[in-house]
């Protein structure tokens, strides 16, 4: 079966750096996505990786290793507004998105 694993919950301190990991086992691979979802709100697109390596976008970076079936989302200079769930999703060989259950990130002052 297809599977996406992410930690359920993480806690970090305002101003610090946090890394959220995602491992996947899917039928084929056509890209990996990260979305942010604040409580009670819609998911919003953060990043996309299809080749190995690091994609940087402001305070957020996303890394992919296809051979290891692994990605991480790196958040720098954490702000209180970064408290949210972070969803990892993989597009499989049928171009369908398989979603992880999400990682709830709690930021403490």
- Residues near other proteins (CB under 8 A): 4, 8, 31, 33, 35, 40-45, 48, 50, 87, 89, 91, 96-102
Considering beta carbons, is residue 8 or 67 the nearer one to other proteins? 8
CA 72-62-88 angle, to 5 degrees, is: 60
Considering beta carbons, is residue 74 or 97 the nearer one to other proteins? 97
Q: Around 68, how many Cα atoms within 13 Å sit in the side-chain half-sphere?
A: 11
Q: Which of 37, 77, 83 is nearest to 58 (CA)?
A: 77
- Closest contact distance (angstroms) between CB of 97 and other proteins is 7
- Closest contact distance (angstroms) between CB of 87 and other proteins is 7
- Closest contact distance (angstroms) between CB of 43 and other proteins is 5
- Closest contact distance (angstroms) between CB of 103 and other proteins is 11
β-pair type (9-13, 103-108): parallel
3-state SS string over 77-98? CCCHHHCEEEEEEEECCCCCEE
Considering beta carbons, is residue 75 or 91 the nearer one to other proteins? 91
């Amino acid at each position: 079966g297809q599977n996406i694993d992410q930690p359920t919950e993480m806690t970090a301190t305002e101003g610090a750096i946090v890394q959220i990991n995602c491992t996947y086992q899917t039928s084929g691979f056509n890209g990996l996505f990260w979305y942010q979802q604040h409580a009670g709100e819609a998911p919003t697109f953060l990043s996309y990786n299809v080749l190995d390596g690091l994609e940087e976008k402001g305070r957020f970076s996303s890394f992919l290793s296809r051979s290891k079936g692994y990605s991480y989302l790196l958040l720098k200079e954490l702000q209180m507004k970064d408290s949210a769930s972070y969803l990892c999703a993989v597009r499989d060989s049928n171009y369908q998105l398989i979603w992880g259950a999400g990682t709830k990130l709690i930021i403490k002052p």
